[in-house]
Structure 1
Amino acid sequence: MSFTRFLLASQIHAKVTELQTFARAFASICYNEFPACHPPVPPIAVVLLSMRSSLFFFDFSRWTAVCLFGLACSLGLSAHADESQISFNRDIRPILSENCYFCHGPDENNQQSGLRLDSREAAIEFAAIIPEDVEGSELVARIDHDDPDAVMPPPASHKTLTEEQKQLLKDWIAEGAIYEDHWSFTPIRRPDIPNLSEWDETVVSDPVHPVDAFIRARLLAKGHDLSGPARADRLLRRMHMDLVGLPPTWKETQDFFQRSQTSQASSDDRAALIDQKLDELFANPHHGERRAAFWLDLVRFADTVGYHGDQNQHIFPYRDWVIEAFQNNMPFDEFTIKQLAGDLLPNPKTDDLIASGFNRLNMMTREGGAQPGEYLSKYATDRVRTVGMAWMGLTTGCAECHDHKFDPFTAKDFYSLGAFFADIEQWGVYSDYGYTPNPDLKGYNNNFPFPPEIEVTSQALLREQTQAKQELTELARSQHEALPDDQKTAANQWLANVHDWLEQNADGWQSIETTNVPSADKKQRAWKLDASSTSPGSLSPQSIQVSLPTKPNQTPLAVEVRFYIEELETVPADKSAENQEDEKKLKRTTVAVSLARANRWMPSFSNTVAQQNVASRWTVPATDADGHAAKQRPHQFMIDQSKHADEPMQAVFELSAPLQLRDGQSLIAEIKGLPADIEATFEASPLIRLRPFDPTELEAIQVCDSVSQPNALLSWMMSNPKQTKDAGAKNHWRDRYLACREGRTWTMVTQATDPIEMRVLPRGNWQDETGEVVQPATPKFLGQYGIDSDKNADANHSDSKRLTRLDLARWIVHRDNPLTARVVANRLWKQFFGVGLTMAVDDLGTQGEPPSHPELLDYLAIELIESGWDLRHVTRLILTSQTYQQDSRVRPELSEIDPENRLLGYHPPRRLEAEIIRDNALAVSGLLNLEIGGPSVKPYQPGGYYSNLQFPNRTYRSTTGDNQYRRGIYMHWQRTFLHPMLANFDAPSREDCVAIRANANTPQQALTLLNDPTFIEAASELAWSMNEQSDSDENRLRAMIRRSLQREATSEEIERLSVFLDQQRELFLADEALSVELTSVGQSAARHGKSLTHPERAEWAAWTATARIVLNLHETITRY
C-alpha cells in the first residue's frame, strides 16, 4: 500500500472514530435532557448539522492519523484478545465463506482448479494449507502476493482481505489449521452452565438463572455486567407488548408497580410476581394472536394469490388455526406435522385438513396465456424455499439453479425436497382455457375459488351471527313498540297470520306444486308454481323454469324460496361437450333467480346448506370479488359424483334476500346444464331465514307475546320496509348476519393425488427435461433421522417405497435434527430482543453469522426438545431472566466494545411492528374490537389505490361497523397492493417467506401516524374520552399520557403540551370548517358530533390535534 493510500485510509478511520465519539457524547447529552423518552431520536437536522460542523473543523496530522488508525485496528482485534485459541467456526470460516467459497467451495460446477477450501483434506492435498507451516502454505503466499494475476481473492471478485483477516489465517495455520464442522450442522448437546466465579470472584454464590449465566459470562470477561432491573411500569409494558401485543391499562400498571415496590427486598418475591404476571399473559385470550403474527410472515399467509390478478383466496380458517394453536400451546412438533402433512395423518380431523392449508399458501395464477408447467415449477420451488427457511433456517433457494455455493446443499437435494410435495393436487393455471385445458376447472373465472377446498365451521362467524341476530331483534322490538296503535294492530294481525301458517307448516317451509309448461328455449323446461300441494318433478337433461304467481291487489309478500335438489344420477343419453357422462361430473351448472317482468337477476344465494356431506361438491358464490352481492349473472356450481358415488347427492339453496312479489309478478328460477335425473322440491316461507327454524317455537309465537319472538318479529320488520325507521342499521346488521352463512365458510386444503414426476432442472429452467429424475429424499449431509434408508433411495431404485410429506415432517422435528430446534430457539430469542443469538435468523448456513452465545443457543434448543417442543416453556425461561428484565438505557461505557449490544449489557429497545402500532393506537383510544378470528377486514385506505388492480377490476370498500377496528393480524393482506400503512412500517407483502422484517426509518411513517384516517380517528376518540374524564387541562393531559404511555407525565411534558393545546384552540375557534373536517374523520365521529356547537367542536378538535402528537411520539410506538 502506498503512503498516500495509507494516509487516506487513516484519515477515514479517524473521522469515523471521531464521529463515533461525538455520537456517544450526543446520545448521553440527549438522555440526560430527555430521560423519559430514552433512547432519544433527535431531530435529523440537528444531527446533520452537528456532523457537518464536526467534520469541517477536525484537523488531521499525519502522526495523529497513524495513531488513530492503529487504535482502530487494535479495537478491531479486541474481539479476540481474550481468546486463547482461534476457532475455525467463529474466526476462520466467515473469512473463507465470504471471500473464497464462491470459487473454492462445495459447488462442484463452479470450483476453480479443483481446489476446495471448505474441506481440510482437499486443502492439504493441494498444499494450499500445510498445518503449522505458514511460509509453505500456498494460501498465505497468494493472499500476500503483489501480482494482480496471482493475488487471492482476485481483483475481479471485488473482494479483499484486511490485514487483520490475513493475520488470523496465518495464526490459524500456525496452530495446526484445525477445521470444525459448521456449528449448525453439529448435534445439539446440553452445554455446561458457566461458573461465573471464574471471571469474578466477587460474584455471589446464589443460584444464577441459566440464561443470565451465559450472558453474564461474556460480559464479566469484558469487565462489565448486566444493567439493573427495568422500572416496573416499563417492564410491564414490555411483557404486554411481547406476549399480547397490547398495552396494559393504567390500573394494571399501577397495581403491578405497587406490588413490585413491596417485593423489592426479596428476589424470590420479585420472581414470584413475574411468574404470576407471565401466567396471566399466557392465559390472555389474545396471546395466540401475538405469537401467530411472526409465523404468518414465515409461511407467507395472505388473503390473495399474488400473481397477475391477485384474486382473493379462501384461507382465513388457516390463520385462525395458527392463532388457536399458539393460544393452546400446541407442541411445535405437532404444529409442524399438521401443517406439512395433516391430510396424511390417520383419520385426519377437520382441523388437520385446515392446517394442511400451509401447502397452499404459495402464490398461484389463473392468467390467460400462462404456462402450467412453468407455474407448477414455481409452486414447487417456492415450497422448498419456504420449508428450508421456515424450519431449517437455510437458504435452500440458492440450490434451485446449481449446487449451493457455500453450503453442502446440492441441486439434487433441492429437487428431492420438492418431490415430497409432488403429490399435492393443484393446477399450474387455475382456469380452463383452450391453450391450457383443465377440464376439472371448466367455467372457472376470476371470481371463482382455488380448489381443492372444504367447507368448515368458523366459531368466529357463529359469534358474529349471534351478535347480528341480537342487534336485529332489538331493532325490531324497538320499532314494534314505537308503532302507533292502528299500525301495531295491523302488525299483530300479521304475526297472528304467521302463527296460523306455522300450524300448517311446522318446519317453517311450505312446499309448492310444480307444473310443466312449454318453453321457447329448447334447453329449458318451465315449471309453474302454486301454493297448494307438493309434487316433485323429474328433470330431463334440459333446464327448467319455475314461477310463483301472485294475485292482483295482493299485499306484497316477502317470501324466501329454496331449491332442494337430491338423488343426482348421471344418465348416458344426451351427452354434451361440457358435461361428460363417463366422468360423472356436471361441470357447468347454473342456478339463477329473476322476476318475470323485471327481466333482471334477483338477489344472490346467501347459503348453500349442506346435507349428507355434499359441501365439497357444491360451489355457489354469493358475492363478487369485493364481497358484494353478485348480480346480473347466474351462479355456477359444480356437482361431482365421481368422488362420492356412494353418498346421496343433496343440497339446499337459499336466496340471500326475501323477494318482494307485487301485483302480477312471478318468480322465475332456472337450473341449466343438467344432463341428469334430478328430484327437485321448491319451497317458500314468509319467515326470514335468519337461522334454521326451531319447530319448538311454534307454540311460543302468539299474538299476545309476539314481540318476544325474534323469527316472526324479524319477518314482520323485513316485510314492511315503510314501517322500518332505521333502514341503514337494519340493512347493516342483516348483511352481516347473512355473510356469516350459518357459521360455514370455505378454506383451501391439501389433497393428495398421484405424484407428478420431479427432476433436477438445470439452471432452474422448467423447459429443460434433461435433468435427473428424483424421488423424495432428505439432504444426506444432515443425517437421515427416523428415515427408512430403503425409502430414502435414489430414483433408479424402482422397488423403493416412496417417502411422503409425513416422513419429511417427522424428520424435520426429530430430536436429532441439528437445525430445527436451533432455528426455533433463535427466533424465539429474536422476538424478545429484536435480534437473534445469531443475527441471521434466516440463514444458519456458512454465510450466516455465528451465534454471539453459541452455548446459550444450544441450551435453549435442548430445553425446547426435552420439554416436548414446548414453546411456552422456553419463552418463560427467557422472560424470567435478568437479561430480559434489565433496564433499556444505553450504557456509553459499553459502546466501544459492543456497539451493537450483542453482549446484551442492556435491554435493546425496538420499534413495534406495523400491526401492533395500529393495535396500540386503537387500544389506547378505546376503539379496538377484540373479537378473535374470522374473515379478514379492510381498514380505511386511500381512494384509487386499487385502480390498477385488474382481472377482475376491484373497488376497495372499507369494512363498516365495529369490524373496522379489528386487530392488525386480521387486516386484508393484498400481496401486490399491500395496505399503505402496513407497507410504510415495513410489513412484508408475503409473496415469499420472510424471517426478518426490515426496520426502516422514513418520513412516510410520521405522515402515516398523523394522517392515516385510522390514527386520526383514534386520536379523535382518545380526545373525546379525555374530555369526559376530567375538568382541568392538566388532569386531562396527565390522563392522556398515562393511557398512551403507561407512565406519569413529567412537568416539562405537561407544560409543552399545554402550550400546544392553547395554540390549537385559537386555530380551530378561528376556522369552523377546519374543526369540522378534523372531527369528522372515521365512522365513529358521527356518534359525538351531531349536536355540537362550534366552540364545543373546536375544543374537541384542539384535543384531537394534541392526541395526534401523543400517538406520534417515538415512545408510543417503541417497546423498551
Structure 2
Amino acid sequence: MNLQALIFAALILLFGSCSQDKQIELVIEKNEQISYNYHIRPILSDNCFACHGPDANKREAGLRLDIAENAYAALKENPNKFGIVPNSPSESEVYHRIISSDPNEMMPPPESNLKLSEYDIALIKRWIEQGAVYEPHWAFVPPRKVDPPKVKNKNWPNNEIDHFIWAKMDQRGLSPNPEAEKSALLKRISLDITGLPPSPELQKRFENDKSPEAYVKMIDYLLDQSAYGEKMATLWMDISRYADSYGYQDDNIRTQWPYRDWVIHAFNKNLPYDQFITWQLAGDMLPNANKEQILATAFNRNHKYTEEGGVIDEEYRVEYILDKTNTFSKGILGLTMECAHCHDHKYDPVSQKNYFELFAFFNNTPEKGYEGDVMQSKPAKTPILWIERNDIDQLLTFINHTDSSKIMVSVMEELKEPRKTYILDRGLYDAPTLPVNPNTPENVFPFGSKFPRNRLGLAQWTVDKNNPLTARVFVNLIWQEIFGRGIVKSTGDFGMQGDLPSHPELLDWLAVDFMENGWDIKRLVKQILSSSTYRQSSKVENKNLKVDPENIYLSRAPRLRLPAENIRDLVLSSSGLLVQEVGGPSVKPYQPEGLWEAATSGRGELKTYKQDKGEKLYRRGLYTFIKLTVPPPMPIIFDGSNRDQCEVNRGRTNTPLQALVMLNDPLVLEASRYLASQLLTQELKPNASIENAFIRVIGRKPNNKEIEILQSYYLEELSRFEKNIEAAISLTKLGESPISDELISPKLAAMTQVVTAIYNLEEAITKI
C-alpha cells in the first residue's frame, strides 16, 4: 500500500464513511497532476482490460480503454454516449458505470469479484477532469537523464544514486540508516562482487586501512579478481538457460561448457554490454568473425533438444526457434512476448504478427529438430563449432581444457537462402498462414531501414541507444542482483502488466549514464556499491518498517540469503576446501544415491550418476553439473534455477529442507571437519579456535556471549564424544578429503560440531 492509500485509510477511520468524498479530495492534492501511466493504467489494467483491453476476442461492447482514440469514441451500442469525454466526468459513460450501484450497470460487474476503491474512483474522476490524457507506456519511451534532485542533507549522498533515493525516502517520511560496520561492508561487497566470503587476511587488510579511500580501493581489488566473472556468470547462466544435458526423456550429455568459460572471460575482461549482447546474438555474422565471436552465439543454442525416436522434425525445430525468441525477449528486452505466440498479446501492443516477425530473425539457421536418438547422440547439435588445441593455445586461451581432444559446441550459423517464415495459426508448427519478414514491434522501437533485416541487424537494433528497453533492463538486473529487488520488481516484464518502477527517474538516469559511459558493467557495479544507499546498515527501525515494510525505498540495506551456488561457495571457501580453478567442464559433487536412476530412460551416458573424485568435488557451485530432467538437489532446495528456460529472477523461500541441508549435507559436514582439523593443527586453545572459525565463516569477531555459547557447546560435545569414540570416528571420517589418523579424536569431532553450528547461523549464509 502506498503512502497516499495509507493516509486515505487513516482518514476513513478518523472521520467515518459519511464524508468519504471530502476525505478523498484531501488525499488527492488540489494541484496534483494525475498520470495515466502511474495512477490510472494500473487501475484499468487490473479491473477493466480483461473485457476492454487489447484482446479483440475478449472485448465487450466494442469498448477499448487502453487506447485514447478508442476510449474517446462513441459507444457502438449507444452512439450518443462516449466511454471517456476529456474534462467531463459527467459525460463519460465509464465514470457513470464505476460509480453506479445498479448491478446491471456497474463496472466492474459484480460477478467479476472486482471492485474499485473510492480512492481509485476519485483518481479516475480527477484524471478525466484534467483532460484524460493518455501517455505512451513508460518503458517504450527512451530514457531521459534528468538532474538528480536536491536533498536537504548534503552530507549523506555519495553519488547521484543517493539523491534519487533520498528524495523518495523524504517524500514518505523515511530516513536512512547509518553506515554499516566495516566488517559487514567488506563481507557485503565481497559476496556481491565475487560470491565468496572475505578471507581473514583480507579482513585484517581492510580493517587496518584507515585511509578515506579504503572502501573504494577494496571494490577495485575485488573487481579485478577472476571470481568476479564467476559471480556474474551465475546470473547469466540463468538467463541463457545453460545446462549440461539435452532435456526431455533420454537427456544425454552435451558440451556447452566452453560458452560458460567465455561468459566468465567476457565479464572479467569487462567486455562492454553492447558488444556482449551483439556477439551472443550474431557473433557469427560479424565481418571476419573469429571463433570467440562464434562461440558467444552458443547463447542461442542452450535450449532443450529431443533425442526421442519418432518425433516430428519440423515440430521440434519450430520449438527451438520459439525458445530463442522467448529468451531474447524476456532476458534482454524484458518483455513477455511469448504471450503472442498463439494470439495477439492481451495487454502489450504486440500482435501475433509482431511475434513471428521477431521469430523470423532466428528462423534462418540450418539447425534441425531431430538428429537421431540417444544411441546416435553426440555432445553438440548442428551447426557445430569445433574447438581444437591450437585454438585454445592462441585465441581461446580462456577455455580450461587440459587434454588434446577437440570440443564440440552448438552455435549459430546463417542459411545462404533465407527460410520463409509464416504466422502459425494458434502457434501450431503445421498451421502456417500469412508470410512475414523479420521485424521488431513498432511500439517498442521501429526497426526502419537503419539495420539489415537479419540477426546482426537485430543485435544492432537491440543495443541502439534509442532502444528504450535494453539498458533499462540490464541496469535493473544488476540492481536486483545487489539489492534483491529490481527498481522494476517484475524483472522480466517491463510491459503493461509489469510493475511500475519504484524510482523511475533513477532507473532512467542509470540507463542513460550506462550507455554514455560505454556500457561499462564494472563501472555500473562500482557505482552502485559506492553509494551511501548501499553502505547503510541493515538494522530494521520500527518507524521505517511500518511505513515501508518491503523496504522498497531502501531506508536500510536488505538482508538477503545468498544464491544457492554461493552458499556452496561460502562453505568451501571459509573451510579452506575450495579449489579456485576457473572454467572447464562441469563436475559432479556429492548427491543422494538413486536420483538419476529413478528418472532416467536407462539409456545414454547419463543413465547413472558417477560422482567425481578429488579436486572436482570442491569446485564452485557455478560448475555443478546440471542435468535438466534431474537438477542437482542442493541448489534446487535453495531456489536455484532448474535451467529448462530463461529465468531473470529467483524466488527466496524458507523451508525446513534448507535447515536439514545445512545440518546434514555431506559437503557441510566435511567442510566443518576440514576447518576444525586445520584449527586443531594450529594448537590453539578451544576458544581461540572457535573465534577463528567464526571470523572465517561469519566475517566478523564474535562477541563474548557468542563465544560463551559456542564454548559451552564444544565442552558438551567433547564430553559426549569421549564417551562414544565410535561416533567421533564416524563423524570425522565423513567426506573424501584426506585426514591424518593422528587428528581423529573427540576434540576434532567436538570442534566439527561447533563449526557446523556456525554454518547453521542465519548470518552465515545471509548478506547483511
Compute the TM-score of the two structures, normalised by the length of structure 1. Answer: 0.64
Note closer, same or farther for the CA distance 1:100–1:444 as it changes in structure 2 (3 Å cut). Answer: same
Matching of residue 788 in structure 1 with residue 719 in structure 2: no
- Where do residues 327-726 of structure 1 align in structure 2 (5 Å cutoff)? 327-431=268-372, 445-446=376-377, 449-457=380-388
Indicate which of 627, 644, 651 corresponds to 1:974.
Answer: 627
> 1:1054–1:145: structure 2 CA closer, same or farther, 3 Å change rule?
same
The Cα of 1:830 is off from its aligned counterpart by 1.1
Q: For residue 643 of structure 2, give the secondary structure of its aligned residue in structure 1.
A: coil
**1:455 aligns to what SS in structure 2?**
strand
Tell me the distance in 2 between the aligned counterparts of 1:97 and 1:459: 57
Alpha-carbon shift at residue 1055 of structure 1 (Å): 1.4
Cα separation, 1, equivalents of 2:62 and 2:425: 21
Q: Residues 82 and 974 (structure 1 numbering): CA distance in 2 closer, same or farther, change over 3 Å?
A: farther
2:237 to 262, 285, 296: 296
CA distance 1:956–1:252, change in 2 (3 Å) = same
CA distance in 1, matches of 2:699, 2:26: 41
Q: CA deviation at 1:897?
A: 2.0
Q: What is the deviation of 1:766? A: 2.1
Contact 2:571–2:759 (8 Å) recurs in 1? yes
CA distance in 2, matches of 1:1023, 1:70: 70
Contact persistence 1:461–1:744 (CA under 8 A): no
By how many angstroms is 1:216 displaced? 0.8
1:1108 aligns with one of 749, 756, 760: 756
Aligned with residue 804 of structure 1, among 454, 461, 470: 454
Q: 1:375 to 1:155 in 2, by over 3 A?
A: farther
> Are 1:250 and 2:200 matched, yes or no?
yes
- The structural deviation recorded for 1:446 is 3.9
Q: 1:391 to 1:284 in 2, by over 3 A?
A: same
The AA in structure 2 aligned to 1:768 is A
1:162 match: 117
Provide the secondary structure at the position in 1 that maps to 2:407: strand
Match of 1:772 among 434, 457, 460: 434
Question: For 1:819 and 1:908, how far apart are their aligned partners in 2?
Answer: 26
Structure 2 residue 652 is matched with structure 1 residue 999: yes
User: In the alignment, which residue of structure 2 is the partner of 1:1087?
Assistant: 739
> How far apart, in 1, do the equivalents of 2:571 and 2:388 lie?
32
Measure how far apart 1:284 and its partner are.
0.9
Residues 113, 984 of structure 1: CA spacing in aligned structure 2 closer, same or farther, 3 A cutoff?
same
Q: CA deviation at 1:362?
A: 1.4
Deviation at 1:163, TM superposition (A): 2.5
Aligned residue number for residue 144 of structure 2: 189
Corresponding position of 1:658: none
Is 1:908 the counterpart of 2:558 in the alignment?
A: yes
Aligned equivalents of 1:841, 1:428: Cα separation in 2: 31
Q: Is the 8 A contact 2:12 2:23 kept in 1?
A: no
SS of the residue 2:408 aligns to: strand
Q: Give the Cα separation in 2 of the matches to 1:292 and 1:1025.
A: 31
Alpha-carbon displacement from aligned partner over 1:586-628 (angstroms, at most 9, x marks no partner): xxxxxxxxxxxxxxxxxxxxxxxxxxxxxxxxxxxxxxxxxxx
Query: Which whole-Å deviations, capped at 9, do the CAs of 1:155-212 have from their partners, x for residues lacking one?
Result: 443433223222221222222212211111012221111122xxx4xx3489862111
The one-letter code sitting in structure 1 at the alignment partner of 2:381 is: F
What residue identity is the alignment partner of 2:385?
I
For 1:1078, what is the secondary structure of its paired residue?
A: helix
Deviations 1:1045-1066 (A, max 9, x none): 1111111111111222122122
Aligned to 1:311: 252
Alignment CA distance shift 1:853-1:75 (3 Å): farther
SS in 1 for 2:230: helix
1:132 aligns to 2:87 (yes or no): yes
Inter-CA distance 448–869: structure 2 relative to 1 (3 Å threshold)? closer
Shift in CA distance, 1115/78, structure 1 to aligned 2, threshold 3 Å: farther
Deviations, residues 307-357 of structure 1 (Å, cap 9, x unaligned): 221211110000000000000000111111111111111111111111111
Q: Give the conservation status (yes or no) of the 8 Å contact 1:462–1:743.
A: no
Q: What residue number does 1:988 align with? A: 641
Please give the per-residue CA displacement for 1:345-391, whole angstroms capped at 9, x wherever unaligned: 11111111111111111111011122222212211211111100111
Hey, what does 1:1018 align to over in structure 2? 671
Q: Alignment identity in percent?
A: 37
* Residue number among 36, 50, 60 corresponding to 1:102 in the alignment: 50
Matched residue of 2:133: which SS?
coil
Paired with 1:73 and 1:1099, the residues of 2 have a C-alpha distance of 74
Partners of 2:258 and 2:25 in 1: how far apart?
Answer: 53
Distance in 1 of aligned mates of 2:379 and 2:699: 48
Over aligned residues, Cα RMSD in angstroms?
Answer: 3.0
Between the aligned partners of 1:989 and 1:92, the Cα distance in structure 2 is: 38
CA 1:401/1:237 → structure 2, altered by over 3 Å: closer, same or farther?
A: same
Q: Provide the secondary structure at the position in 1 that maps to 2:387.
A: strand
Aligned positions of 1:274-293 closer than 5 A: 274-293=215-234
Which whole-Å CA distance do the structure 1 matches of 2:707 and 2:465 have between them?
57
Picking from 165, 168, 178, the partner of 1:228 is: 178
C-alpha displacement of 1:64: 12
Flag the structure with larger Rg. 1
My pick for the range that moved more, 150-159 or 304-313, is 150-159
Q: d(CA) in 1 for partners of 2:456 and 2:624?
A: 32
1:120 aligns with 2:51: no
- Taking a change above 3 Å as real, the CA distance of residues 188 and 1049 of structure 1, as seen in their structure-2 partners, is same
Structure 1 residues 76 and 872: alpha-carbon distance in aligned structure 2, compared to 1, 3 A threshold: farther
Equivalent position of 1:949 in the other structure: 600
- Aligned partner of 2:160 in structure 1 is 210
Contact 1:826/1:857 (8 A) holds in 2: yes
CA distance in structure 2 between the aligned counterparts of 1:821 and 1:847, rounded to whole angstroms: 20
- The alpha-carbon distance between structure 1 residues 972 and 67, as it changes in their structure 2 partners (threshold 3 A), is farther
Of 750, 753, 759, the residue aligned with 2:422 is 759
CA distance in 1, matches of 2:18, 2:688: 57
> Residues of 1 paired with 2:55 and 2:38: CA distance?
22
- Cα distance in 1 for partners of 2:90, 2:653 equals 47
Residues 917-944 of structure 1, C-alpha deviations (whole Å, 9 max, x = no match): 0000000110000000100001101000
Does the C-alpha gap of structure 1 residues 1063 and 69 become closer, same or farther in structure 2, counting only changes over 3 Å?
A: farther
Task: Flag the 1:1104–1:389 CA change in 2: closer, same or farther, 3 A.
Answer: same
Counting matched residue pairs gives 747
- Specify the code of the residue in structure 2 equivalent to 1:394: L
State the AA in 2 paired with 1:1099: K
Distance 1:1056 1:74, change over 3 A: farther
Is there any run of 5+ residues in structure 1 with no aligned partner, and where? 1-12, 19-62, 264-268, 433-442, 467-736, 792-801
User: In structure 1, what is the Cα distance between the partners aligned to 2:695 and 2:424?
Assistant: 60
Amino acid corresponding to residue 430 of structure 2 in structure 1: Q
Deviation track 1:44-92 (CA, whole Å, cap 9, x = no partner) reads: xxxxxxxxxxxxxxxxxxx998889999999999996698222221111
Pick from 747, 751, 757 the counterpart of residue 1099 of structure 1.
Answer: 747
CA distance in 2, matches of 1:71, 1:243: 55
Q: Distance in 1 between matches of 2:19 and 2:90?
A: 28
CA–CA distance in structure 1, aligned partners of residues 392 and 615 of structure 2 = 14
What one-letter code is carried by the residue in structure 1 that aligns with 2:679?
M
Residue 746 (structure 1) shift: 2.2
CA distance in 2, matches of 1:1071, 1:74: 77
Counterpart Cα distance in 1 of 2:169 and 2:720 = 54
The one-letter amino acid paired with 1:752 is: E
**1:1074 matches 2:727:** yes
2:120 partner letter:
Q
Instruction: Determine which structure has the larger strand proportion and give its number.
Output: 1
Q: TM-score, normalised by structure 2?
A: 0.92
Whether contact under 8 Å (1:304, 1:973) holds in the other structure is yes
Compared with structure 1, are the counterparts of its residues 336 and 70 closer, same or farther at alpha carbon in structure 2 (3 Å cutoff)?
farther
**Counterpart secondary structure, 1:825:** helix
What are structure 2's unaligned runs of at least 5 residues? 75-81
- Contact 1:462–1:740 (Cα < 8 Å) also in 2: no
